[in-house]
Chain A
Amino acid sequence: MNSSSNLINALFIFVLAGFIGFEVIRRVSPLLHTPLMSLTNALDAIAVVGAIMLVGRHESRLATIFGFIAVVAATSNIVGGFLITDRMLKMFKSSRPESGSAAKPAAK
């Protein structure tokens, strides 16, 4: 059956993406946990894709209204999320020139 093979595919993708996410995010510096959260928030707003389809297809009045509100909510997350993440990351400056990597504090 097509729908159940779709389901198995989806489950594979979910599990594998979860592992990738775990490994990638484990390595994120604790310095950047706040921007990490606002960034994942913006990325998560990719749900806008589903909302756009609802609005674009006009299948029922209810679906269109719900979809429209969803587009607005998700878009505000995309715009706001990327904006504030960028603002935050711009503020992180090293005390040393850009060349060296920030591994250990300079003193002793």
Chain B
Amino acid sequence: MTGEISSLQIVIELLYLVASVLFIFSLKWMSSPTTARHGIWAGEIGMLLAIGGTLLNRGMSYHLIAIGLVLGTIIGVPLGRVAMTAVPQRTALSHAFGALCVTLVGSAEFYLRSPDISRFMMSVLSLEVILGGLTVTGSLMAAGKLQEILPQRPLTYKGQNLVNFLLLACALVIAITLVLHPENRSLFPFMVLIALTFGVLLIIPIGGADMPTVISLLNGYAGLSAAAMGFVLNSKLLIIAGALDGSSGLILSIIMSKAMNRSFTNVLFGAFGQVQASAAAGEEARPVRSATPEEAAAILSAANRVIVVPGYGMAVAQAQHKVRELYDALTKRGVDVRFAIHPVAGRMPGHMNVLLAEADIPYDRLIEMDEINGDFPQTDVALVIGANDVTNPAARSDATSPIYGMPILDVDKSHTVMVIKRSMNPGFAGIDNPLYYLDNTLMLFGDAKQFVGSIVRELGGGH
């Protein structure tokens, strides 16, 4: 690597430089949906240049590389064609793949170079392998929970944080030993093994509602480990790509944790254990008002302004296409329909936007929380579909509530609130929602898809 640089090496490095610039443009163009598709082109061209440049290196044997590229493509194509509702688990799976690549390359580099590894190099290599390893299993666990292969409920036990902390400490002790004595090759597998175990334990206590934060965080970890790999291989391109990915994951984690009123340190140290709700709240059955699809349709068609608040329940019920029909039916009658998107609605950042865009709802109708919250008092009907905690007014008023302080959509301020919900069972987090007992709230009991479908039929029939 060091010493004189051949002209071929210069060509390769220049190709990497162009690729880095294209990667930055690729992300820059994501700032607006009108330019975002250029971003993909930039990213793809950058990727082709980088891979092409790498293949120019002398003394390479190509046949295994070619098989690997073909095999990867065969696996990648179906992963690019999953249903939009499955995007969160696909994303988690791809974090795992990315981290697997980094961990394997790091491990191979260790065995190729040890014991001739400088202290700094060994520190970065340890960081690469530990971060990579925990991201592999952590992401696989997250994907399993999202795909519902694994139980979605958070599993907590006594001393969980202590166990995790001790495990991490063990990995660090091994890492430090290796930094000082890189000839201890037999220690290396233990470090990887501990990182892999740590990843599993890190995700066990995490419930579905925390997934947006966790996926963002794993994204950041994957990026950082790739950047560390760049240090090890002395590859500027990798450092840049890793830094971009790392900062993206970091920013998204910050946005998500803010939207859940969690401190960022709380997120960083992986203490995402779902706050246990006090079961005492709302013991006695309080009266709720419910309505039929006919009544709901009548109220909606009489409204001027409607805001729909979608949540994960809409995705579970696959109701987004019915919601689109409702949007069409109401818009045809001159009702102004918009959608209020809470940052943590769904199972990953931006999840709701993708599902609604898939159902052909124009993106300029999808409004962020901060922009739309002031409009609820002038709204005739807020229709909550499959969202719970993000509409819970206890977050504003009840200091004892586990979600107190979390920014919410102020649906309770609109003239009428309609909530489509299967039953009165508290949501996933087990937190009671006082919204359901308000005088201006109507509960619409039933499956989101069927209920919205019935409303649409009513609206069609009445016209």
Contact = CB atoms under 8 A, between A and B. Distances in A.
B258 interface: no
A31 B353 contact: yes
Given A77-B94, A82-B80, A95 B364 contact: yes
Given A13-B239, A43-B26, A88 B354 contact: yes
Contacts of A58: 61
B393 interface: no
User: Chain B interface mostly helix, strand, loop or mixed?
Assistant: helix
Nearest to A107: B336
Contact of B80 (A27, A69, A80): A80
Given A10-B239, A40-B27, A92-B363, 14 more contacts: A4-B120, A10-B231, A17-B240, A20-B243, A34-B351, A41-B219, A53-B233, A62-B108, A68-B68, A82-B44, A91-B358, A95-B364, A105-B367, A107-B305
A52 B55 contact: yes
B6 interface: no
Given A39-B43, A80-B90, A51 B82 contact: no
Interface of B: 2, 19, 23-24, 26-28, 30-34, 36-37, 39-40, 43-44, 46-47, 50-51, 54-55, 57, 59-62, 64-65, 67-69, 71-73, 75-82, 84, 87, 90-91, 94-95, 97-98, 100-102, 104-105, 107-109, 111-112, 118, 120-121, 215-216, 219, 222-223, 226-227, 229-231, 233-252, 255, 305, 336, 338, 341, 343, 348-351, 353-354, 357-358, 360, 362-368
Interface string A76-108: 111111111111111111111010011001111
A73 B248 contact: no
Contacts of A10: 230-231, 234, 236, 239
Contact of B87 (A34, A46, A50): A34
Given A41-B245, A76-B97, A28 B27 contact: yes
B72 A71 contact: yes
Nearest to B44: A82
B302 to A, nearest CB: 18
A73 B81 contact: no
B229 A46 contact: no
Given A21-B243, A76-B73, A34 B26 contact: no
A7 B120 contact: yes
A101 B365 CA distance: 13
B363 A42 contact: no
A92 B78 CA distance: 22
Nearest to B212: A33
B349 A33 contact: yes
B27 to A, nearest CB: 5
B77 A83 contact: yes
A39 B77 contact: no
Contacts of B104: 51, 66-67, 69-70, 73
A66 B51 CA distance: 18
B105 A25 contact: no
B193 to A, nearest CB: 15
A41 B47 CA distance: 12
Interface residues of A, number: 92
A30 B137 CA distance: 28
Contacts of B19: 46
A42 B244 CA distance: 12
A34 to B, nearest CB: 4
B43 A22 contact: no
A21 B236 CA distance: 15
B72 A78 contact: yes
A76 B338 contact: no
8 contacts: A35-B30, A44-B98, A68-B64, A77-B98, A80-B75, A80-B78, A89-B33, A94-B363
B47 A18 contact: no
Contact of B94 (A27, A38, A89, A105): A38
B222 A54 contact: no
A91 B105 contact: no
B281 to A, nearest CB: 32
B168 to A, nearest CB: 23
A96 to B, nearest CB: 7
B127 to A, nearest CB: 12
Contact of A50 (B33, B90, B219, B229): B229
A102 B363 CA distance: 9
A63 B30 contact: no
A81 B81 CA distance: 10
Contacts of B365: 95, 105
Contacts of B107: 66
Contacts of A75: 68-69, 71-73, 75-76
Contact of B59 (A57, A62, A76, A89): A57
A14 B243 contact: yes
Contact of A83 (B24, B80, B247): B80
